[in-house]
């Protein structure tokens, strides 16, 4: 292993400025004035700070001694001279001038000799290598299963206690929180990221996916790639961007920098996937349009899980009862009161039903609506009896009215019937193996089945039985609202699907 000793001196910059007194001209210009005419004065253009390009470190000559100086990106670090120097104005020219300095040439001679001596005199220790391999495997297992570093530290202590008398490796393992974090961040993460990039470069073509995620008060953008490997479709994270600015231009610049930093080419970019927000996917100014300006045949990878969820949300506005509000009110009534739950259990016993907890529905979770309706219908009789019991004074009047109305149950059975197919489609879309080739089959299937229900006016057996028991006016009104729900749902899906239907049909 190479040993690198870095000694920082506040006077280094002054020394460098004395030796590097050759005037330089700025070579890095801002991208803000790309559209300025050639006849305009170039000196008016805004100057951009010179920073270290990480691609320079891939050069075998520069990579042997040059390092990134993280506290200040306008400086580079020479480990042969144990000093930092400015590249603020000259960029790579400043590095070339540093290489030509007599002091650097002299230091490089001794630096190369020291490296050879350290490498040749260090003898590998089999036991220490086995311990290191065990610790790396242990941390990898913890990261894969989402174990905290504190949990891994505790598990290490248990392993050392159990195997202290029978295993030298187990006795020698030491994975505290700091060490686990260092192994994960500085060993495993760079290795697996590099392996992903090697496979992506072999595949030539790739897609990128991104999404904003809050971690405390930090805004993070994971950048994920999808590509074809020898083992099929694979995905992997290549970068994690920390930036609070979510504007289209800034997000595009961050993604473009991440792609170039990884050594990938925009020419291999085939599609982009993200949430269906205006910032990401709008047709006028968005991350997609900015990428499309550079990659002409870029495919827009809309999130069809979001599309199905939003389609149900828009269709829900056509119903006569707000089922989502109703479900959340029922759940909230029992969620924080042990006394009410205990009273509800007595109604379960009366109907000889096993007690089952109601499932919470959250509006932004597209898989929770069907499950919440399914559970409520399963225990509808005891729950209805609880809310319609006149002796129960804690019952909210709105819930009592909804449970007394047959319309509420009819709408719930309708949604249960329609959402069953949508739920299956949503789960299928989330499979790892799904690609654009499968998209045409999946979406046309979910379009066909609701259309069939619309043409036959069939909304489920339970729903039909309830409609037959109602008055003709009420039944007609509900059936009309069900048809409007299906039409709104289909129109919302078609708005996105029609943009790429010809291409998806061709490849599917």
d(CA 100, CA 107): 12
Query: How many angstroms separate the Cα of 393 from the Cα of each of 334, 358, 385, 403, 405?
Result: 15, 21, 13, 15, 19
User: Are 137 and 100 spatial neighbours (Cβ–Cβ below 8 Å)?
Assistant: no
Domain boundary among 56, 88, 121: 121
pTM above 0.85, yes or no: no
pLDDT at 355: 87
d(CA 206, CA 228): 8
d(CA 474, CA 247): 49
* Whether residue 353 is found in the same domain as residue 391: yes
* Whether residue 389 is found in the same domain as residue 502: yes
Q: Is residue 2 part of a domain?
A: no
Domain boundary among 154, 174, 194: 194
Burial track 338-355 (b if 16+ CB lie within 10 A, e otherwise) = eebeeebeebbeeeeeee
Handedness of CA 130, 131, 136, 142 (dihedral sign): positive
Q: Is residue 3 part of a domain?
A: no
pLDDT at 121: 57
User: Are 45 and 109 spatial neighbours (Cβ–Cβ below 8 Å)?
Assistant: no
Would you give per-residue pLDDT tens digits along the chain (508 residues)? Answer: 444 444 444 444 444 444 444 444 443 344 444 444 443 444 444 444 578 888 888 887 888 888 888 888 888 999 888 888 998 888 888 899 999 999 898 888 888 777 766 555 555 667 788 888 999 999 999 999 999 999 999 998 998 888 888 888 888 888 888 999 999 999 999 999 999 999 999 988 999 998 888 878 888 889 999 998 888 888 899 998 888 888 899 999 999 999 988 889 888 999 998 888 888 888 888 999 999 998 888 888 888 888 999 999 999 999 998 999 999 999 998 888 888 888 888 888 888 888 888 888 888 777 889 999 999 999 999 999 888 887 777 788 888 888 988 899 999 999 999 999 999 999 999 888 788 888 889 999 999 999 998 898 899 899 999 999 999 999 999 999 999 999 999 999 998 888 888 888 888 7
pLDDT at 62: 85
pLDDT at 164: 82
pLDDT at 16: 43
User: Are 271 and 298 spatial neighbours (Cβ–Cβ below 8 Å)?
Assistant: yes
d(CA 493, CA 308): 7
* Nearest one of 466, 490, 329 to 407, comparing CA atoms: 466
Which SS3 state, helix, strand or coil, does residue 270 take?
strand
Q: How many domains does the chain have?
A: 4
pLDDT at 43: 42
* Whether residue 273 is found in the same domain as residue 414: no
* Whether residue 402 is found in the same domain as residue 270: no
Residue 294's domain spans which residues?
A: 204-302
* Whether residue 295 is found in the same domain as residue 426: no
Phi, psi of 45 (to 5 degrees): -70, 145
Q: What's 257's domain CATH number?
A: 3.30.420.40
Which SS3 state, helix, strand or coil, does residue 274 take?
strand
Q: Is residue 6 part of a domain?
A: no
Round to the nearest angstrom and report the end-to-end CA distance of the chain: 52
Query: In which residue are the tokens 């913890």 written?
Result: 142
Q: Is residue 114 part of a domain?
A: yes
Which SS3 state, helix, strand or coil, does residue 482 take?
helix
Structure tokens, 181: 């974090």
pLDDT at 301: 84
């Amino acid at each position: 292993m190479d040993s690198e000793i870095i000694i920082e001196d506040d006077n280094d910059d002054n020394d460098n400025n004395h030796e590097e007194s050759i005037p330089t001209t700025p070579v890095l210009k801002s991208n803000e004035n790309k559209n300025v005419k050639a006849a305009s004065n170039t000196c008016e253009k805004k100057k951009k700070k010179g920073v270290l390009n990480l691609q320079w470190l891939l050069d075998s000559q520069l990579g042997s001694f040059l390092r990134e100086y993280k506290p200040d990106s306008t400086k580079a670090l020479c480990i042969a001279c144990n000093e930092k120097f400015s590249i603020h104005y000259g960029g790579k020219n400043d590095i070339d001038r540093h290489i030509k300095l007599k002091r650097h040439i002299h230091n490089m001679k001794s630096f190369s000799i020291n490296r050879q001596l350290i490498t040749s005199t260090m003898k590998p220790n089999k036991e220490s290598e086995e311990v290191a391999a065990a610790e790396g495997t242990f941390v990898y297992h913890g990261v894969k299963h989402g174990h905290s570093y504190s949990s891994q530290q505790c598990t290490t202590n248990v392993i050392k206690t159990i195997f202290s008398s029978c295993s030298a490796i187990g006795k020698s393992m030491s994975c505290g929180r700091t060490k686990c974090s260092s192994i994960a961040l500085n060993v495993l993460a760079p290795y697996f990221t590099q392996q992903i990039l090697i496979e992506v470069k072999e595949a030539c073509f790739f897609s990128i996916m991104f999404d904003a995620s809050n971690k405390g008060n930090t805004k993070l953008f994971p950048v994920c790639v999808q590509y074809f490997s020898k083992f099929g479709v694979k995905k992997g994270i290549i970068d994690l961007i920390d930036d609070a600015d979510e504007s289209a231009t800034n997000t595009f610049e961050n993604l473009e920098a991440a792609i170039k930093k990884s050594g990938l080419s925009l020419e291999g970019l085939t599609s982009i996937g993200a949430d269906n927000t205006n910032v990401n996917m709008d047709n006028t100014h968005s991350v997609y349009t900015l990428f499309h300006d550079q990659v002409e045949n870029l495919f827009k990878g809309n999130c069809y899980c979001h599309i199905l969820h939003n389609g149900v949300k828009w269709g829900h506005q056509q119903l006569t009862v707000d089922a989502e509000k109703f479900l959340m009110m029922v759940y909230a009534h029992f969620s924080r009161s042990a006394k009410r739950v205990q009273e509800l259990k007595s109604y379960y016993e009366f109907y000889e039903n096993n007690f089952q907890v109601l499932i919470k529905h959250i509006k932004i979770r597209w898989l929770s609506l069907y499950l919440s309706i399914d559970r409520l219908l399963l225990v509808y009789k005891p729950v209805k009896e609880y809310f319609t019991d006149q002796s129960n004074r804690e019952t909210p009047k709105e819930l009592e009215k909804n449970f007394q109305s047959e319309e509420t149950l009819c709408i719930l059975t309708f949604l249960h019937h329609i959402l069953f197919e949508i739920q299956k489609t949503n789960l299928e879309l989330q499979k790892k193996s799904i690609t654009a080739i499968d998209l045409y089959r999946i979406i046309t299937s979910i379009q066909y089945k609701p259309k069939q229900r619309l043409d036959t006016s069939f909304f489920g057996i339970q729903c039909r039985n309830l409609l037959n028991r109602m008055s003709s006016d009420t039944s007609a009104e509900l059936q009309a609202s069900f048809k409007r729900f299906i039409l709104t749902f289909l129109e919302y899906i078609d708005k996105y699907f029609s943009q790429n239907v010809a291409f998806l049909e061709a490849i599917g």
